[in-house]
Amino acid sequence: MAHSTQLNTQTINQQASRHEETAANISQQLDQLKAQVEATLAASSSSATRALSTTTDRWVESVRKSVLEHMHAMAENMRREANNQDAMDSDSMQAILNVPMETGNFLGV
């Protein structure tokens, strides 16, 4: 079975899309958590519930800023590097094709 180290741009782009889908899913779950805490806050006026609400808001925003932003950045980086690799592969292939015929025959190209 032949193995290749070549990266498939389509596969990389699919993985990047999965990163973004996961980030969207996490964002929805964070929104649901905030809604549940707000519903609890509406039903209770205790200071403990207000503290829970404040803590939850801070935590949710922290997760959005760190985890979700990193997931989106990772997806963007994956796509950019896949495109860069495609361009490099194309340039390398052109360089190989530009090898003089005599040298190519000697190298077995």
Q: What is the pLDDT of residues 20-65, one digit of tens each?
A: 999 999 999 999 999 999 999 899 888 888 898 899 999 999 999 9
Residue 98 lies in a domain: no
Residue 2 lies in a domain: no
User: Which pLDDT does position 18 carry in this prediction?
Assistant: 95
Residue 77 lies in a domain: yes
Residue 51 lies in a domain: yes
The pTM for the full model equals 0.69
Indicate the Cα dihedral angle 9, 15, 18, 22, nearest 10°.
-140
Instruction: Classify residue 108 as left (phi > 0), alpha (psi -120 to 50) or beta.
Output: left
Q: What is the pLDDT of residues 91-107, one digit of tens each?
A: 777 777 777 777 667 76
Residue 62 lies in a domain: yes
Q: Domain range for residue 74?
A: 11-90
